[in-house]
Amino acid sequence: MSYHRLLITCVFLIAVALTGCSKSTNQHDHEHTSHQMQTASTPLTIVFQKPTAPHVNQKITLNAQVKRKQEPIKDAQVEFEVWSNDKNKQKVKATQPSSGHYESSIQVKEEGDYNIIVHVTTPKEHQMISDHFTVGQ
């Protein structure tokens, strides 16, 4: 009879242990799914506004609008990275004169085509876009 009780007790303990592991795994899966949903947000919309008629040795204003679902992003850090022909690379930080609008200015010494990368960093992500503009032609 004691063998029978021992067997029942072992089966009961195994069932309890498996149930405990099952809850833990499900809870972990739920937490992982919840974490994925929090970090998988709608991407930012970054629009670079090309400078109008930029000239050599004059202030060139760089502008970008940053939004998510049509709402301006107010807590971003924005930098403009500008270069021509893989030389004279400049990286300038932008200010935010109005909600979701970021700007900075540069001067260039040569005419030509310039590449730009707009870097946008928020507390939860980093996103960037690339574009180009022409100076003095």
Q: Tell me the CATH number at 87.
A: 2.60.40.10
How far apart CA 58 and CA 68 sit, in angstroms, is 33
Query: Which helix (H) or strand (E) is 12 found in, with range?
Result: helix 2-39
Torsion over CA: 43, 50, 103, 117 (sign): positive
pLDDT per 10-residue tile (average), the chain, 137 residues: 60 54 44 37 92 94 96 96 87 96 95 96 95 90
Q: Does residue 7 sit in the same domain as residue 33?
A: yes
**CA 14 to mean position of chain CA atoms:** 47
Do 72 and 129 have their domain in common?
yes
Instruction: State the pLDDT at residue 55.
Output: 94
Q: Return the closest-CA partner of residue 91 out of 75, 76, 79, 73.
A: 79
Same domain, 59 and 32: no
pLDDT at 27: 46
Bridge partners of 54, per DSSP, are: none
pLDDT for res 25: 44
The verdict on 27 and 66 lying in the same domain is no
